[in-house]
Homo-oligomer: A and B are copies of this chain.
Amino acid sequence: MLATAADCFSRYGYAGSSIDRIARKAGVTKGSIYYHFRDKEDLLAATVLDRIAEFEQRVQASCDGLAADEALRRIAHVCQDHAMSKDHPRFLIMLMIESIDTNQQVSDQLRSTMRGFRRFLAGLVRRGQQQELFRADVDPERVASAYTSAVLGAEIQYYQDPDSFCMDDALGHYIDTLLVSLNGVRTDSLQENGENR
């Protein structure tokens, strides 16, 4: 039932998904949905919590015990897999935008999720710096913001134009240039390290 709601919300948005439509698609009736959830907003809130938990778990599990540089590659790959999967990948992005001016509770939830994601990435970069995998003169927060932008933007473009937009190219190119800029190569010194992929 949550899966069906996520599917409808991700396709048609919250306002565009009627309870009747969700119910019919789930093979039940409206009344049944109102038995489990107080109202439409409650259904949305439950769906959001469910999808956030899944997303966070997937990301954290994917780079467990990996080196910082490999983790950065891995996360991009996980997001790419997610975007190309069939389980309502647009849900979080759809609601991130739709709820800004329509549902403060959901908006706050998603906002803090995104902050957590950026914090997680920044921690990864900081770890890489401490292990001297990455050069120390880059700001981890800036990297995290730029990285998240790249992933988010690639997802949207892929959703909108899966035939023409190659997510692998976009994210691959970004991660490559990012890792090169993070590798301990100073721009004012000679290059000491040839591996950049």
Contacts and interface: CB of A to CB of B under 8 A. Distances in A.
Interface of A: 11-16, 90, 93-94, 96-98, 100-102, 107, 110-111, 114-115, 118, 138-139, 141-143, 145-146, 148-154, 156-157, 159-161, 164-166, 169-174, 177-178, 180-181, 187-191, 194, 196
B100 A173 contact: no
B146 A173 contact: yes
Contact of A153 (B142, B153, B160): B153
Given A169-B142, A181-B177, A161 B114 contact: yes
Nearest to A189: B191
A169 B145 CA distance: 7
A13 B152 contact: no
Contacts of A118: 165
Q: How many subunits of this chain does the assembly comprise? A: 2
Nearest to A8: B101
A152 B157 contact: yes
A191 B15 CA distance: 55
Contact of A12 (B101, B107, B115, B181): B101
A154 B160 contact: no
B196 A187 contact: yes
Given A148-B157, A177-B181, 14 more contacts: A12-B98, A100-B160, A114-B161, A115-B161, A142-B169, A145-B170, A146-B171, A146-B173, A149-B150, A149-B157, A149-B174, A150-B150, A153-B153, A174-B174
